[in-house]
Every structure is written in C-alpha cells, then in structure tokens.
Amino acid sequence: MSLPIGRRTLLAGGLAAAAAPLAAVPSPARAAAVPPLITQRADPFITPPVGGMYYFTGSVPEYDRLVVRGAPTITGLGTAAESVIWRRPTSGRMGGHIWAPELHRIDGRWYIYFAAGDAGEVFRIRMYVLESPHADPRDPAGWTLRGQIVTEWDSFSLDSTTFTHRGRRYLVWAQSEPEIAVNSSLYIAEMRNAWTLRTKPARIATPTRDWETRGYRVNEGPAVLIRNGRVFLAFSASATDARYCLGLLTADAAADLLNPASWVKTPTPVFTTNDQTGQYGPGHNSFTVAEDGVTDVLVYHARDYRDIVGDPLYDPNRHTRVQRLDWNPDGTPNFGVPHGGAGPVTATSR
C-alpha cells in the first residue's frame, strides 16, 4: 500500500488523518546477519538497571499504545512479556499517532515521555508525560497522565528526553519552530519538575548539512551520554528510510548547556546504513550500560532491507538492536557500524 502522508508533511500543510499503519508486514527474504533483540519495535529505549532490572519501551507499528517489558539482562528483554500500560483515547486529544516513548526513574517515580497526535489530526504531534508511583513500571494500574509539556510554540514537537547534570535536570527535544524552514531542530531547557520547563528553550542544532536534509530537514531523537568530561548528545537526521543516520553534538561538561555556543556538531554522521552488515536506516538511539556496570551499550533501530514500498513511517520492520559502544583514545565515542542484535556485549575501556 502506498501512503501519501509522511510524519513531516506539516511543512507542506498536511495535517489530515492518514491511513492506518501496516502492522503485520513481514520482513523480505533477506535477513540480517545478526538477529535483532526485539522485532518491530522502533525508537527503542532501555533503562539502566533499576533494582536489578532493565526496562524497555519503544514505538509499536500500530502507533496506538505504550508498552513496557522488563528483564534482569539486556538479552532477556528479547523474550520478556510485554505489558500495555496505556492506550490512546478513541477520540480527541492524543487519539492519533503515539510515538517514541522513553521511560525514566525520577525521584522515586516512573515517568514515560511520549509524543501523540490527535484523533483526526494524527500528525498534530505534541509531547506528553505519564507518571507512576509504583516500583514496577509494567503495572498499568499506576499510570496517570501529568499532561502536555508546554514549550514556547504550539507546534509539531516530539522525542523528548531528560537527564541530570551538575544538580540540574534538563529536557532535550525536537520541534518545528515557526519561521525556520526545517522540519525539526533540537532544543534544550532546564526543568522545574518532571513535566514542566523552568527556562526558555535554547536551539542547539538545526539540520543544515547534506546528511541531515535527505528527504526531510530533520534533527530529532536526542540521546545523552556524559563521559570523559563532556556531554555527548546523539541525534537522528534525514528521512526515516535508509538515509536515516546518527549525528553527534558535544559540549564540555563544565559549559553552560543552555548556551547554543557550548555545543559543537560533528561535521559528518557517526552511524549510517551499512550494506555489508545489511543494516539500513539506523537511528533513534538510546544508551544503557551492560550488566558489568562498565560497558556502554548503544540501543537503536534499523531495517534489514533498503527498499520500502510506500511511506517508510508505515513500514513496520524497524527492529530494536543493541551493540557495544566503543571509545576513541581522545575520549570520544566510536559508534562503529550497525551490526548489533540480541547477543551479549563485552567490556571496553572509556
């Protein structure tokens, strides 16, 4: 089926309802050399261990619900039972596409950050937060909606992530800022609490390079890793097909993170499609740490084929993959090439 509306058609004025996603399309015959950790789960997020458990969430192909699974090991997430902790309403606000959840433990409570469209306007995407006081985030009874994350502009916004640094909590997200002719740029702000901004947003990246503007002009999917005296922020760029890739922003750990001048963008992408390993469109990553408590792990989605029929957004075969994140002698991350699957990761220096 060919679907005419893509996730970023708002720049062309397209906010009409789209056809339902294709949830049961199998992968073509060509398979990846290494099987994925979890099939048909995009925008994957794996927490660091909490109480001896890893927890996973990600986008489902139907874009209609939020899911969580847990296991004592990263590999165990692949076969763990999945709990539906929230479903979109049948009408009105948040009744459209549900995208890119992240699960965070903050001050003894669980929070899920996610993006949602409205029924009838599935691409009217805004950011929302759910909260649970329960110890186990797989318990659906504990989740309540805290509301929308309100920013400077009532516009297309998604992919919020949060982190703490030097005693402050920050939110980073992607948004279409009025008067800027790109689909989405990256912004950062300090937070008052887990669902409210304290400061005005600072734009820290916008798509300008060739590898960020293929198909669409996109910076999105931020993920933060603080190591070696620096704050590293990986992000995704371009259309969600084989052109999708990861870029990297870097700031000194002592810098003012709300100052755009503190952030330096690596001029070339750091993680891209690889024909030799059969991985296409790797992106929308997160980071976790292996069971040894030392090894950094890259979590991402990718397809195992290049050619897609119709809109890539509705091709369901973006699979969750994991692999070790290595480190260069100068203390910067070395993403390597996408090849990860369900296998174990091993220790590395950083």
**pLDDT tens profile 135-149:** 999 999 989 999 999
Task: Give per-residue pLDDT as tens, 246-285.
Answer: 999 999 999 999 999 999 999 999 999 999 999 999 999 9
Mean pLDDT, the chain, integer? 90
Question: Is 95 inside any structural domain?
Answer: yes
Task: Give per-residue pLDDT as tens, 169-220.
Answer: 999 999 999 989 999 999 999 999 999 999 999 999 999 999 999 999 999 9
Work out how many domains the chain is built from and give that number. 1
Which residues fall within 8 angstroms of residue 96, CB to CB, at 6 or more apart? 17, 63, 88, 116, 117, 118, 119, 120, 121, 122, 123, 124, 125
The pLDDT of residue 332: 98
Question: Is 348 inside any structural domain?
Answer: no
Reported confidence tier of residue 344, pLDDT bands at 50, 70, 90: low
Which residues fall within 8 angstroms of residue 37, CB to CB, at 6 or more apart? 74, 75, 77, 78, 319, 320, 321, 322, 340, 341, 342
CATH code for the domain of 284: 2.115.10.20
Task: Give per-residue pLDDT as tens, 9-47.
Answer: 433 333 333 334 444 444 444 444 589 999 999 999 999
Question: Is 4 inside any structural domain?
Answer: no
Question: Is 346 inside any structural domain?
Answer: no
d(CA 165, CA 141): 32
Quick count: other Cβ atoms within 10 Å of Cβ 214? 18
SS3 272: coil
pTM: 0.91
Q: Is 241 a catalytic residue?
A: no
Question: Is 342 inside any structural domain?
Answer: no
The pLDDT of residue 33: 57
Task: State yes or no: pLDDT of 346 exceeds 90.
Answer: no
Residue type, 136: D
Backbone φ, ψ for residue 117 (5° rounding): -95, 180
Question: Is 343 inside any structural domain?
Answer: no
Task: Give per-residue pLDDT as tens, 288-337.
Answer: 999 999 999 999 999 999 999 999 999 999 999 999 999 999 999 999 99
Which one of 102, 118, 177, 220 is the catalytic residue? 220
Question: Is 196 inside any structural domain?
Answer: yes
The pLDDT of residue 313: 93
Q: Is 220 a catalytic residue?
A: yes
Question: Is 350 inside any structural domain?
Answer: no
d(CA 326, CA 340): 13
Q: What is the dihedral of CA 66, 104, 55, 98, to 10 degrees?
A: 20
d(CA 85, CA 112): 10
Show the domain range for 20. Answer: 9-334
Give how far the C-alpha of residue 178 lies from the chain's centroid of Cα atoms, to the nearest Å. Answer: 23
